[in-house]
Structure 1
């Protein structure tokens, strides 16, 4: 029997957050005209410093998540269309839960 291995899409963390409350996450989905969309890059930013925290590609259902975040972190998310057919989308005031 042959099992096809497909590597998972990992989050790339760009900064280290030195906080004691690392127990939460941010989850969301990317949609284009109401349909799931996987050809995007989602970047999580620290709102106070404007520094990128992590980069993530959506899974095959268009979902993404950032794990291990401080519950007090204030962020915003920018999603870019890799095909460059649509403008970037920003979600502001995103708080880990």
Structure 2
């Protein structure tokens, strides 16, 4: 999941960070990867809170450098077998285009 209000180059970099930090490596064949779009930082923060509440393993990516100065940019979910755990919060997100 990534903020769709970011410039495309920044967005791509943040997705790479989220994917790299959340994937354990050695992923099983058939693992699904999708890029979902949150409207903005506030929307992404709300998703992060829900992930924390449900204890769903993830990595929140915050950009320390200006002009973002610690803003939440993307979230990488660790691969999970039971997608029904995350579907309530991700089901309404659109695919990043």
Instruction: Give the structure with the higher percent helix.
Output: 2
**Larger Rg belongs to:** 1
User: Higher RCO, 1 or 2 (CA under 8 Å, sep at least 6)?
Assistant: 2
TM-score by length of 1: 0.31
After TM superposition, the score normalised by the length of structure 2 is 0.31
